[in-house]
Structure 1
Amino acid sequence: MRDQLPPLNALKAFESAGRYLNIGRAAEALGVSSGAVSQQVHALEKWIGCRLFQRTNKGLEFTEPGRVYFDEISRSFEAIRVATRCAGRPDVRKGLVISVTASFAMKFLLPRLTRFRDLWPDVDISVSTVELVSEYHAADGDVGIRYGMARQSGMWSREILRDELLLVAAPHLLDPSAEGFDLDRLRDYPLLLDKHPRVIKDYPSWETYLSSNGLADVSHLTMREFSQQWMVIEAAVNGEGVALAKKCLVQNDLDSGRLVALSGTELALESGYYLLTLPENANDTVIRSFRNWLATETAKLRGPTP
């Protein structure tokens, strides 16, 4: 076996391709072309002398040597990232990458983020999105916000928001009456849903909400499914039906009048949103400030203290 290290660019391409098991996403993360990633991975395979991936119609799959090699390489890259953050870091970091799901980014974080930027005008603050169910990794960003992941091995975490579900619709579609909203009226409208109940354990479904409010027969209700909750909310704004959505994600639309709450009945969620970062970053000046700022913003959702 050679004593020399493989080319660093080839290792970076392999580590990124192994993390996503997709050449296109690996290329996007590295800021290069898909062809460049493929060439670097091929060069590494040639250098080592064995195949690291099997190419499939769905993307990439590890070979057995590839899986073992990736586990070792990814640990080494993570150690390099941690060492880089810790060694000689100035008192105030120059950049902050926030990793969140697309729905939380679009409907909660981005409409409010200017207020945090104003606190740190010299810090380059950016947002990176991930899939609905995705563990936080240091490579994703300096901090991560995830729903339902209270603890994750090797990470520091704090709950930032415990939310509830609201029944909402566009005012021109279904305006609640002064006497209150009758859930039986839902039989006349499409119910908008996303994949939360299918992929997150114990996340309430439409059936759970309706049965808990006395509407047991849901067999004839019309359902329209979307892949993400921000799509559900936008569909509701456009009058496509009635949505059951997290309060934190619809609050701006309620405040602007684009949506109305149809019922005073809220359904409390059993889990919440958590802020995660590496333990050595938990007391970083900017990250601690971001945590405190989030606490202030989420407190506004609960309204003024009586």
Structure 2
Amino acid sequence: MRENLPPLNAVRAFEQAGRHHNIARAAQELGVSAGAVSQQIAQLEKWIGCKLFRRNNRGLEFTNEGLEYYAAVSTAFGTLRAATSAISRPNVRKSFVVSVTSSFAMKWLMPRLQDFREKWPDIEISVKTTELFGKFEESDGDVGIRYGTGDFGSFASTELAKDKLVLVASKTLVQDVALDEELSFISCLPLLVDRHPRLIANYPGWAEYLKLLGMKQVDGLVFREFSQQWMVIAAAINGEGAALVKECLVADDLSAERVTQLTEKTIELETGYHLVHLPSNSSDPVIRSFKNWLRRALKRN
């Protein structure tokens, strides 16, 4: 007599595929290939003796038997998750507040935050913006993402990533300009400036970058100053001038071709992004997972 329970891995693959109505999304969630998920579902259908899904242009659609089975399976997995959480992680927080600068929030974190929410659907994360670069206080939030050298006094901090400065401008601004290696055309463009060089020790600005380009004659250059780096990027997109900005903050705009990188000459930054929090939160599983997610996402950029 055969075992009354179907293979658990196959049921898990079915549950994930049913939740997302998509084989590829289920495979990503389970950390396996799409082919492996399809094989597991086929194995389950063979074991049960009926089809559970129909495939259509939008992905997967339940058969009548599949829908009935999914209702029972999803309830069972939900019960299993709740029971496991209650026993093994009784103190896991249900929400936390992350404090970030508006530039990092707008240009990097917010476009990617849904990915973290999908990985931790039971955790409510709130984003709070600040203008502080290298300072963190307990009242700011449960964790802070700060830019600087990593010295945050009594708070625990972990470096997430360093970055580099890239030179960008809108295509319309430079469409009639010959992009020569010496970049002599830069002297004809307004140069967009933010406050980083004045507020962060050893943070390079236009003076260092122009020296890198070999430009010694800088008289007559036009500088346009903005308080925050997201404003500088917005101004560059609008064709107001050339911007020298962190690569991670302008990555999405480069991919979408809202701006173009004018040269491969970059400046590697000695300072970086850090996750900051109370030392007592170092072992918090949610904060630890958020830190690991940030590291991986910043590496992918």
If the TM-score is normalised by the length of the shorter chain, which range does it land in? 0.5 to 0.7
Q: Which residue is equivalent to 1:116?
A: 116
Residue 196 in 1 paired to residue 196 in 2?
yes
1:138 is aligned with what amino acid? Answer: E
Matches within 5 A, 1:1-306: 90-175=90-175, 180-301=180-301
Deviation at 1:93, TM superposition (A): 0.6
1:259 is aligned with what amino acid? Answer: V
Change (3 A) 1:282 1:175: farther
Deviation at 1:192, TM superposition (A): 0.4
Deviation at 1:156, TM superposition (A): 1.0
Q: Which residue is equivalent to 1:58?
A: none
- TM-score by length of structure 1 reads 0.66
- Point out the structure with max Rg over C-alpha: 2
Cα separation, 2, equivalents of 1:212 and 1:179: 16
CA contact (8 A) 2:166 2:246 kept: yes
2:214 is aligned with what amino acid? Answer: G
Deviation at 1:123, TM superposition (A): 1.2
Deviations 1:93-145 (A, max 9, x none): 11110101111111111111110011111211111111143511121111111
Q: Which residue is equivalent to 2:45?
A: none
Q: Which residue is equivalent to 1:47?
A: none
Q: For 1:224, what is the secondary structure of its paired residue?
A: strand
Superposed CA RMSD: 1.8
Cα separation, 1, equivalents of 2:235 and 2:145: 25
Deviation at 1:237, TM superposition (A): 0.5
Q: Which moved more, 1:124-133 or 1:161-170?
A: 124-133
Q: For 1:172, what is the secondary structure of its paired residue?
A: helix
Gaps in structure 2 of 5+ consecutive residues: 1-88
Cα separation, 2, equivalents of 1:149 and 1:247: 18
CA contact (8 A) 1:98 1:141 kept: yes
Change (3 A) 1:190 1:132: farther
Deviation at 1:299, TM superposition (A): 1.1
Gaps in structure 1 of 5+ consecutive residues: 1-88, 302-306
Cα separation, 2, equivalents of 1:179 and 1:263: 8
Deviation at 1:227, TM superposition (A): 0.5
Deviations 1:280-300 (A, max 9, x none): 111111101101101111111
Runs of 4+ in 1 over 2 A off after TM superposition: 175-182
Q: Which residue is equivalent to 1:46?
A: none
State the aligned residue count.
Answer: 213
Cα separation, 1, equivalents of 2:300 and 2:278: 27
- TM-score by length of structure 2 reads 0.68
Deviation at 1:178, TM superposition (A): 9.1
Change (3 A) 1:93 1:176: farther
Change (3 A) 1:281 1:187: same
Deviation at 1:175, TM superposition (A): 4.5
Change (3 A) 1:180 1:96: farther
Q: For 2:271, what is the secondary structure of its paired residue?
A: coil
